[in-house]
C-alpha cells in the first residue's frame, strides 16, 4: 500500500479493510490486474477482486460518474472515471470537513473550498496511483541494471544520460 500523502483517518479505514479482506497485503486475484489499494478491493482473502472486476463479473459498467466537488457543491459537474479510481476519490472525501462536503446552505465559500480540495485530491491520486508505482519500478530497474552492468550501466549499454543529454545518440 502506498503511504497517504495527506493527513487523514485513512489509516483506521485501512485497518478495517485489512480485517474485512483477511490480509494486510491485499491484491486483486484476477491475473494481471495488479490492483492493491484497499479502497478499491472487495471480497475476502483468496477471493479478493478489485471493484472494476467485481462490476464486470456482475455485468455492470467499470466506469462511473464522479462529482469532483460533491453533488451538494456542484451537482452539474461530473466526470467519468474508472470505478477503482472513483472509490479512491470518494474515500478522500471522507476526510473533508463535513460542513464542506454537505454545504447545507449552498455557501459559495464552501463550494470553492470543495473544488480546491477536489483538485488537491486529484493531484494526490495521480502521485499515489500513477507516479509512485513508476518511481518504484525505475528504482528497482536501477538496482538490477547496476548489478548486471555496473554503477554506470547506461554507459556500458551506450545509452545517453537523460539528465545531462550526454552519451550515445539514440
Mean pLDDT of 91-98: 95
Query: Does residue 8 register a pLDDT over 90?
Result: no
Q: Say what the pLDDT of residue 31 is.
A: 97
pLDDT interval class at 170 (50, 70, 90):
very low
Q: Is 77 exposed, middle or buried (0-12, 13-18, 19+ CB in 10 A)?
A: middle
Per-residue pLDDT tens digits for 44-71: 999 999 999 999 999 999 999 999 999 9
pLDDT in tens, 95-123: 999 999 999 999 999 999 999 999 999 99
Average pLDDT over the chain, rounded to an integer: 92
35 Cβ neighbours under 8 A, 6+ residues apart: 27, 28, 41, 50, 52, 84
Query: What pTM was estimated for this model as a whole?
Result: 0.80
Residue 121: count other Cβ atoms within 10 Å of its Cβ: 20
Amino acid at each position: 500500500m502506498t503511504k497517504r500523502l495527506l493527513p487523514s483517518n485513512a489509516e483506521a479505514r485501512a485497518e478495517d479493510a485489512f480485517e474485512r479482506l483477511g490480509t494486510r497485503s491485499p491484491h486483486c486475484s484476477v491475473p494481471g490486474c495488479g490492483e492493491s489499494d484497499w479502497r478499491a478491493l472487495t471480497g475476502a482473502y483468496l477471493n479478493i477482486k478489485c471493484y472494476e472486476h467485481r462490476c464486470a463479473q456482475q455485468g455492470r459498467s467499470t466506469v462511473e460518474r464522479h462529482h469532483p466537488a460533491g453533488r451538494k457543491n456542484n451537482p452539474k459537474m461530473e466526470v467519468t472515471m474508472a470505478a477503482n479510481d472513483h472509490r479512491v476519490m470518494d474515500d478522500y472525501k471522507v476526510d473533508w470537513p463535513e460542513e464542506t462536503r454537505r454545504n447545507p446552505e449552498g455557501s459559495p465559500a464552501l463550494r470553492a473550498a470543495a473544488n480546491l480540495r477536489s483538485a488537491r485530491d486529484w493531484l494526490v491520486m495521480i502521485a499515489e496511483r500513477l507516479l509512485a508505482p513508476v518511481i518504484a519500478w525505475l528504482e528497482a530497474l536501477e538496482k538490477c541494471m547496476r548489478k548486471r552492468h555496473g554503477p554506470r550501466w547506461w554507459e556500458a549499454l551506450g545509452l545517453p544520460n537523460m539528465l545531462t543529454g550526454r552519451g550515445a545518440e539514440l
